[in-house]
Copies of this chain bind each other. A is one copy, B any other.
Amino acid sequence: MTPTQPTLLVLDADPPPRLGRLTGRARVVRTDAAHLAERLPTADALLVWDFASHAVREAWPGDGPRPRWVHTASAGVDHLMCPELAASDTVVTNARGVFDQPIAEYVAALVLAVAKDLPRTLDLQRERTWRHREGRRVAGTHACVVGSGPIGRAIARTLKALGVTTALVGRVPRTGIHGPDDLDRLMARADWVIAAAPLTEETDGMFDARRFGVMQPSAYFFNVGRGRLVVEDALVQALTRRWIAGAALDVFDAEPLAGDSPLWELPGLIVSPHMSGDTVGWRDDLGAQFLDLYERWAAGRPLVNVVDKKRGYVPGH
């Protein structure tokens, strides 16, 4: 070990793959949330591998000595951002790119499953009941995808490949992407509304009672972004009162979802455990992506996937 080795602090619950490649080139220090605050001032870089943790936000040392670089093994950065980190010169990068195609396939799975009434088929199978029903054609339907980053765009590409007319909504209108002013109109005509936006001040609670109210009674709402995009009570009401036909939530205000949450048994709601982006090999993909960024950082080359800390996401093309 030489004194020139940078200290890489790793906030994890289980060890990330591939860090063995840094042997002799970085002093890798693993920490849990309880010891994060005391270790942050001595770290040159921080890898937030435990992306469910909010510990960084709580432990960030403000003006004091701090890592020059923070990488989170997640697409969203809402769990670690705080005003002090946003104001600092610390560079934040994210896992942009790893989850795009898996999440797009997951959304396609939800669209097709509810269109073909698959959950009901599985219910009837448990009852040993043969009951013919009619599915819906997916080709020719309309989707509104909220979130115009790589994940939203991958969802749009995949749905289009299935013949779904798909509109993308982003923070600002640009070629091929609608701005927020179009959202109500697009939601009103959509068969599928998909939330895939980052959690920011602008998107916090954006799917509320008024917005569910403009949707068609035959339409479905899917959230694969962040739990707080949705006012959960408003969704409960929209489903209970049959304002919409159904919904699926992969993300929640509080994760894991509490065992006594009414969401588990809400008719028409599919609950999944924040898994839409996680396919076999995803942890290795995240490890490889971090290693690539580390090589750039150690060599003094520009990082990619750099988060705009004020906005809360990596600005798009």
Q: A109-B115, A118-B109, A137-B105 are in contact. Are A132 and B273 (CB under 8 A)?
A: yes
Q: Is the CB of B134 within 8 A of A275?
A: yes
A19: min CB distance to chain B, Å: 20
Q: Which of A115, A121, A124 has the most CB of B within 10 A?
A: A121
Residues of B within 8 A of A121 (CB): 270-273, 275
Which residues, 255 to 274 on A, are CB-close (under 8 Å) to B? 255-257, 259-261, 264-265, 270-274
B interface footprint on A120-160 (CB within 8 Å = 1, 0 otherwise): 01101100111111111111000000000000000000100
Q: Is the CB of A130 within 8 A of B279?
A: no
Q: Is the CB of A109 within 8 A of B116?
A: yes
Does A183 lie at the interface of the complex (its beta carbon under 8 Å from any beta carbon of B)? no
Does A299 lie at the interface of the complex (its beta carbon under 8 Å from any beta carbon of B)? no
Which one, B108, B128, B133, B134, contacts A112 given CB within 8 A?
A: B108
Residues of B within 8 A of A119 (CB): 122
Q: A113-B113, A121-B270, A122-B270 are in contact. Are A278 and B134 (CB under 8 A)?
A: yes
B interface footprint on A236-258 (CB within 8 Å = 1, 0 otherwise): 00000000000000000001110
Which one, B131, B135, B163, B273, contacts A131 given CB within 8 A?
A: B273
Does A297 lie at the interface of the complex (its beta carbon under 8 Å from any beta carbon of B)? no
Cα–Cα, bound, A131→B256 (Å) = 9
Main SS at interface, chain A: loop
How many copies make up the complex?
Answer: 2
Q: Is the CB of B134 within 8 A of A264?
A: no
What count of chain A residues pass the 8 Å CB interface test? 53
Residues of B within 8 A of A278 (CB): 132-135
Residues of B within 8 A of A271 (CB): 121, 125
Does A172 lie at the interface of the complex (its beta carbon under 8 Å from any beta carbon of B)? no
A126: min CB distance to chain B, Å: 8
Does A162 lie at the interface of the complex (its beta carbon under 8 Å from any beta carbon of B)? yes
Q: A259-B128, A274-B132 are in contact. Are A279 and B137 (CB under 8 A)?
A: yes
A29: min CB distance to chain B, Å: 26
Q: Is the CB of A130 within 8 A of B162?
A: no
Knowing that A101-B163, A130-B256, A131-B273 touch, tell me 15 more A-B residue pairs with CB under 8 angstroms.
Answer: A101-B137, A101-B139, A102-B137, A105-B135, A105-B162, A108-B162, A109-B113, A112-B113, A118-B118, A119-B122, A128-B261, A130-B257, A132-B275, A133-B278, A158-B162
11 A–B contacts, CB within 8 A, in A order: A101-B163, A105-B112, A105-B138, A106-B135, A109-B115, A121-B275, A125-B271, A128-B261, A135-B275, A135-B276, A135-B278
